[in-house]
Amino acid sequence: MDYQKLFEPKNMAVIGVSLSNDRHPANIIYNKNHLRYQMEVFPVNPRGGAFRRQEIFRRVSDIPDKVDLAVIAVRADLVPGVLSECIEAGVGGAVIISGGFAESGRRDLQDRMVAIAREADFPFIGPNCLGLFLPGGFDTFFLPSERLIQPGPGSVALVSQSGGILVDQMISFAGEGVGLSLAVSIGNKAVINEVDLLGYLAEDSKTKVIAFYSEGFEKNGGREFVLAASRCPKPVIVLKSGKSPQGSRAVSSHTASLAGDYQVFSEVLSQYGVVEAKSQFELVSFCESLSCYQSPIKGRVGIVTISGGHGAMSVDACVAHGLSVPTISEEVQKEIREGLSPSARPIASLSNPIDLTGSAVDDDFIFATECLSRAPEIDCILLLILPYAPGTTSDLGARLSRVYLREGKPLVVYVPHVEKYRMLIEGFELNRVPVSPAIEGAVLMAEAMRRYQPC
């Protein structure tokens, strides 16, 4: 199947636009794309007429231009007929928003729709989904724009069986400055599934990391997915639900998937070098980290802080996640102490964590990080930045990023995320150094690099 027009459309037809219900999903999708994106959008309804002074076409074939993407939001029993009309009109692909198929017991209706599409080699996303979101491009979610928080363009592709989980993750991504190359809500994944999307996204130049929220697979689908993910040249991250018997039942009623044996699936992911996120929080940290760094590490962390309490908490978090915090060699400790400012030199603790104390200035952070970047016993540096300290300036993020650019040893950073510290945080983010608003999140960024072990 050719996915180009589906994922990179130049125009869109929205089928099911209502003349009497402005909250209809088709109306929301039409309005936001017509008003907020630079894409030509055509409303379609068999009754014809006009919608906000725009002609409503009775059929897709009545549209004078060839349509790249059709968004179908009609009653489930009407979808097979609409799908056939799209194929006859030469549409490039479709997103089927409509529900009422296998997830509600109508497997026959879904199978009929699949047969029509496969015979014509016609790609569609769904049914029972939100569809596609491309930052700055288009949005098939039937959610009002004013209620959504959308990430900007970036390098993470996010694929989810659940539309709600997808929107949650997008909100979290936006809050941490993680950009998206594409977001896909696949719902029942009747034609296009995770393996198909892996193949497409592996070749997509805008995508560096591919993340999945998965509820389950068809028979043998889990094995096929893991093998495809292990061959992918980009990091693949998986968040799986249906871990408990009760969760498995919920999965089946949601998207008619088989949750399978979670423990076996988790072990196979690890065996094949696919990164598993155990929670939504982990998923965000892993995506941010691996979008910046694709080289695996052994997990030996050097910590630089000005607060002993923050250092102790970060050590606990590292150990809990299987990372090590080795003692820094006497030679490196001596080198660091000799280069510190007079105010920090006599009182700093340098074994690891390196506690520069509240007397430290920017140059102390810079010098300690440079020394750790050359220390062979450390393969990742965790920086705990407290912007309210008197010796810290808003330039510290950019200056520390330059250490990474010179030395090449990955940095992960904790900074409280409030607007007051935005300039400091941007100094890191603009130089592709990941920042978390929580110590746990920063530790997870290091953990992501340890878990990512390409086959």
CATH number at residue 91: 3.40.50.720
Q: Are residues 432 and 313 in the same domain?
A: yes
Q: Are residues 309 and 328 in the same domain?
A: yes
What pLDDT does 254 receive? 43
Q: Are residues 207 and 352 in the same domain?
A: no
Q: Are residues 251 and 365 in the same domain?
A: no
Domain contains 135: no
Over the chain (455 residues), the average pLDDT of each successive run of 10 is 96 96 96 94 95 92 97 97 98 97 94 97 98 97 92 97 96 94 97 97 97 91 94 96 62 50 89 93 97 95 97 98 97 97 96 96 98 98 96 96 97 92 95 96 97 84
Rounded CA gap, 212 and 193, in Å?
Answer: 11
Q: Are residues 383 and 263 in the same domain?
A: no
Place of tokens 């059709």: 70
What pLDDT does 419 receive? 87
Rounded CA gap, 358 and 308, in Å?
Answer: 10
Neighbour count for residue 342 (Cβ, 10 Å) = 7
C-alpha distances in Å from residue 238, one per residue of 22, 248, 349, 435: 37, 17, 39, 21
Domain contains 143: no
CATH number at residue 443: 3.40.50.261
What pLDDT does 260 receive? 62
Q: Are residues 304 and 443 in the same domain?
A: yes
Q: Are residues 275 and 378 in the same domain?
A: no
What pLDDT does 244 receive? 56
Q: Determine if the pTM surpasses 0.75.
A: yes
Task: Give kind and range of the element (H or E) at residue 66.
Answer: none
Domain contains 424: yes
Residues 48, 58 contacting (CB under 8 angstroms): yes
CA triple 162-167-172, angle to 5 deg = 125
Domain contains 414: yes
Residues 94, 124 contacting (CB under 8 angstroms): yes
Domain contains 28: yes
Domain count, the chain: 3
DSSP 15-61: ET--SS-TTSHHHHHHHHHHHHSSSEEEEE-TT--EETTEEPBSSGG
Please say whether the dihedral angle defined by the alpha carbons of residues 421, 427, 428 and 429, taken in this order, is positive or negative: positive
What pLDDT does 247 receive? 47
Q: Which domain holds residue 319?
A: 295-451
Please say whether the dihedral angle defined by the alpha carbons of residues 244, 247, 253 and 256, taken in this order, is positive or negative: negative
DSSP 343-371: TTTTT-B-SSSEE--TT--HHHHHHHHHH
SS3 for 284? helix
Residues 168, 143 contacting (CB under 8 angstroms): no
Q: Are residues 277 and 412 in the same domain?
A: no
Q: Are residues 283 and 299 in the same domain?
A: no
What pLDDT does 226 receive? 95
Residues 139, 33 contacting (CB under 8 angstroms): yes
Q: Are residues 5 and 104 in the same domain?
A: yes
Residues 254, 171 contacting (CB under 8 angstroms): no
